[in-house]
Amino acid sequence: MLKGAVANLFNLSFNAASDVPLYKQLAEAISGLISRGLMQAGERLPATRELAGQLGLNRTTVSAAYAVLEESGLIQGHVGRGSFVAKGGIAAPAASTDWGAILPPIDLGFGLSIHETEISFANSRPAGNGFPLAQFRRLSKQVIDSPDAAEILQLGSPHGYGPLRRYLLEQATAAGIARPGDDLIITNGCQQGLDLLARLFARGGESVVLEDPVYHGLVRVFSRAGANILSIDLGETGIDIDRLEEVILQHRPRLLVLTPSFQNPTGITISCEHRKRIVELAQRSGVVLLENDIYSELRYYGTALPTLKELDETGNTILLRSYSKVSFPGLRVGWVIAPRAVIECLAEAKQISDLHSDQLSQAVLLRFAESGELAQHIERTRRSGRERLNAVLRACAAHLPSGTKFTRPEGGMSLWVELPAPLNAENVLSRAQERGVNFLPGRYFSARRTHARGLRISFGGLDTEQITRGVQILGEAARRELSASAVSAKSEPAAALV
């Protein structure tokens, strides 16, 4: 492992979805390291070529970032010697506050490591070119012109915009998902649902069971809340139920968090029989079941399975849903269905968090759902998703090196690849990025294990040509890395006997 400032620099990550150009993101990140005392005055920055190589950026991007930092007086360039952190640049005025000592440590690896590549499998989000813009425009204008506009613009309720809340609760009740003792709260997407629930159920170092690999935002929300994270390995055929039972009986966790349909990152779906066993186990042991159900509508093959919430006749399962994956992620609307006592506590936590969710988007999404346009959009997304899924499975079978394992989801946006030994996903990523292809390596999805040979392919935002070409390049990168590691294994001197 690298140490100190260089390790911090080489672990920087960037957000390609941001409007901020990459050179500015890099300049700001370095400026942050300097202002937090993680890079000291006089310290030498890596050569632009070296940093560019490590971060998978163009050299011009790094040069532009250095130029910005030099201009603001934070670093100084010396011809032939390189760039150095300046002593007290103008961006760091005489400060009585030592932020480095006060602020909590930031995890620089948290942000998605998205580089400037042509084909990115890194983002689990729907394709923007599939957005039904004309319908969105027509329906939004209806909302804006409606007599409800004044009410939408006024202060609202922590529980959510009344008409949307009633609509969602009626739909869930009609579908047998919400029970008489249940209630519903609207959140800023599912992430806020998780955050509010973590405040309720993981406040005193309680144990929380997560799947492994798992979506990193899910690990973060519970670990930041102070939970003791336990994990259940996902194998090729899904969650290990016997192991789950052992963990529950041994550790008596407060919470079990599952994504039963098209799990992120693996795409794995828990079978109906296993769902029943899980619900029965939760009832027997008193563990609270949290069902993260944001992908289930994106089923391209097979038949829909009942949610854990439906199977749990005690009504105690907590269900999270969202419009983000099936409509417009930029409109932040998710919801939680749970027993009334839980929703009451969530509403109080929500009020403390941000009073209530934005009402304009709630009203627009309600109109989108009520008009039937959402259902039509989901139908179109399923058709195109089926083609994407076919393309990615075909390409994986054709182009990945022999010995590679990958999941075969029936829906969702992602699948999971396990490269054969001695490959390492991060090394393959570096090679793939050189050829313009990006993905997230296994370590981003670690609940406990490192998943060094694992990687996620998110295919939801790409067309079938991009998918096929991207997987082909990924396969070539893996094979080149295999050859290189065979050579390096041969040339490695014998280890000392100790």
240-279 residues near a copy of itself, rule: CB under 8 A: 254
Residues in Cβ contact with 256 at an 8 Å cutoff, skipping those fewer than 6 apart? 208, 209, 244, 248, 278, 282, 287, 288, 289, 290
Residues numbered 123-152 forming contacts with a copy of itself, rule: CB under 8 A:
123, 125, 128-129, 131, 133, 136-137, 140-141, 144-145, 149-152
Nearest CA to 428 out of 486, 482, 472 is that of: 482
| β strands within 356-480, DSSP E | 405-406, 414-418, 437-438, 440-441, 454-458
Among the candidate windows 104-112, 377-385, 406-414, 433-441, which touches a copy of itself by CB under 8 A?
A: 104-112
Q: Which of 13, 345, 390, 420 binds a copy of itself (CB under 8 A)?
A: 345
Binders of a copy of itself among residues 38 to 77 (CB under 8 A) are 72
Range in contact with a copy of itself (rule: CB under 8 A) among 49-57, 219-227, 407-415, 447-455: 219-227
d(CA 352, CA 343): 14
The only residue of 6, 10, 13, 28 in contact with a copy of itself, by rule CB under 8 A: 28
Does position 115 interact with a copy of itself (CB under 8 A)? The reply is no
- 124 CB-near residues (< 8 Å, 6+ apart): 264, 265, 413, 414, 456, 458, 460
In the complex, the smallest distance separating the C-beta of residue 416 from a copy of itself, rounded to whole angstroms, is 21
Residue 14 CB, nearest approach to a copy of itself (Å): 11
Q: Which stretch binds a copy of itself (CB under 8 A): 214-222, 396-404, 407-415, 433-441?
A: 214-222
CB of 93 to a copy of itself, least distance (A): 6
Is 371 a binding residue for a copy of itself by CB under 8 A? The answer is no
- Report the residue count for the chain: 498
For residue 479, give both structure tokens: 């094979």
- Interface with a copy of itself, residue 331, by CB under 8 A: yes
Phi, psi of 471 (to 5 degrees): -70, -35
35 binds a copy of itself (CB under 8 A): yes
Give the one residue of 44, 59, 220, 443 binding a copy of itself; rule: CB under 8 A: 220
**With respect to a copy of itself, which residue has the nearer C-beta, 154 or 250?**
154
- Smallest separation, CB 405 to a copy of itself (Å): 29
- From the list 2, 7, 17, 272, which residue makes contact with a copy of itself (rule: CB under 8 A)? 17
User: E-assigned strands of 46-203?
Assistant: 75-78, 82-85, 119-120, 182-187
Number of residues that bind a copy of itself (CB under 8 A): 110
CB of 415 to a copy of itself, least distance (A): 20
Closest listed residue to residue 297, CA positions, set 191, 218, 223, 381? 381
Q: Which of 75, 208, 364, 413 binds a copy of itself (CB under 8 A)?
A: 364
Terminal Cα distance for the chain, rounded: 22
Q: Any contact of residue 352 with a copy of itself (CB under 8 A)?
A: yes
In whole angstroms, what is the distance from residue 51 CA to residue 41 CA? 19
CA distance 150 to 145: 10
Q: Which of 11, 58, 63, 283 binds a copy of itself (CB under 8 A)?
A: 283
Is 168 among the residues that bind a copy of itself (CB under 8 A)?
no
Measure Cα distances from 353 to 192, 324, 347 in Å: 9, 20, 10
Q: Which is nearer to a copy of itself, 66 or 201 (by Cβ)?
A: 201
The two three-digit tokens of residue 496, written as one number: 């000392």
State which of positions 169-198 bind a copy of itself (CB under 8 A).
179-181, 183, 187-189, 191-192, 195
306-325 residues in contact with a copy of itself (CB under 8 A) are 313-316, 324
Compose the 389-418 pattern: x for residues touching a copy of itself by CB under 8 A, - for all others. ------------------------------
Residue 117 or 361 having the CB closest to a copy of itself:
361
Q: Which is nearer to a copy of itself, 341 or 398 (CB)?
A: 341
| Nearer to a copy of itself (CB atom), residue 71 or residue 465 | 71
By CB under 8 A, which span of 43-51, 90-98, 259-267, 374-382 interacts with a copy of itself? 90-98
Tell me which stretch binds a copy of itself (CB under 8 A): 25-33, 48-56, 231-239, 375-383: 25-33
- Rounded CA-CA distance 392/397 in Å is 9
Q: Is 456 in the site for a copy of itself (CB under 8 A)?
A: no
Q: Give, in order, the Cα–Cα distances in Å from 163 to each of 118, 152, 362, 363, 479.
A: 42, 10, 9, 8, 55
> Going along 129-264, which residue ranges are E strands?
182-187, 207-212, 228-235, 238-239, 255-258
237/314 with CB nearer a copy of itself: 314
Using CA atoms, how far residue 479 sits from 313, 399, 484, in Å, is 51, 10, 9
Nearest to 158 by CA among 425, 357, 395, 386: 357
Answer whether 278's CB lies under 8 Å from 244's CB: yes
Out of 2, 7, 153, 487, the residue judged to bind a copy of itself by CB under 8 A:
153
Q: How far apart are CA 470 and CA 436, in angstroms?
A: 8
Distance of CA 23 to the CA centre of its chain: 24
